[in-house]
Structure 1
């Protein structure tokens, strides 16, 4: 068995759908490559993905490995992943997240305000699918990077949002064609964003970025470089 099945459906951006269809046809365990199995049994989720399971993440994550260094997305080793996780754990505590509620509410309020202006006096419907997607991305941008894309005020995706959306297809190609990975570092504004944030005063950065920049990753015994963030 070769990897051509994976290659074919990944190139068409239908790999997830094809795997789901294969499970419907063959059952909870499907072989999708020479040394790759897919499971869709909910009882196995904790065994495979649970904290402390000790299993490496799938090689798909290597697609985000653009340099000689692992970044936050591409770390597969459980010990190193735990080190990165410990660095940002405080940012995702219940108390910290509750403190971000006003930010989330403000973004939702922006959307309602925009809809009110756009639809006032009009008898028409509005597809909110893209808006829910934009709210999530804007909240992530603001909580992690301290960047407001402005998408929710204008109703038009910021170029950075478009870059992220197009990166999904690029990631699929890099997953099935490793030589392409060296070009991933050229994705617009990725390193530039990290360097810009690193140059700011500590008080101007978000808690997440402060921890990634200031804390030591105990799994490697040093601070993270820009490429690793």
Structure 2
């Protein structure tokens, strides 16, 4: 069997390819964007299975499906568990949550072989994902200040960061400890406005004052008020970051 991977996180794509090689599935390509994917389909024969990341750096994967008539069996992948609760609650779709588990990958491949996928299923999924943005991203956060509870709007957050095994929310008014890890926060934050630049920081797009070239093809961010530590966009995230701010 042959497969194509469309995934903009290169470590995830490489890991998936290694797993597929273990199932004797030949990966014919690793693509990272909608534009590159459309070009590939226009110039190559389709594979038996397509692994399709839902949220790519330049948009949702459905832009590909609207232009290309896909004959491959599709296995959708997503890093957001909340997508699965609503978006996949109907027949005709095979999907995997990242990081991908080897046993679940095997089951998804078997399911994909048996599915008779229909355009209606994709339309349902697309609508569910469009609704997702307005329904589940957090618009405010509660923090404890002494014996009081303070509500901070998501738009007023400059960044989230980890320090000494704690997670902090930084607004113009101050720093506050919150009871969530950065990893769990990622699925609660609207990716149009928040971006995880490295393992320590998630920044709000409106808080970025300057972007400066840094060593080893990285970028340094200067924010409106936060200056406790340097904020460096990790090398593997620079391309996705540039697409995000466009």
TM-score by length of 2: 0.23
Please state which structure has a larger fraction of its residues in strand.
2
Please state which structure has a larger fraction of its residues in helix.
1
TM-score by length of 1: 0.24
Higher RCO (C-alpha 8 Å, min separation 6): 1
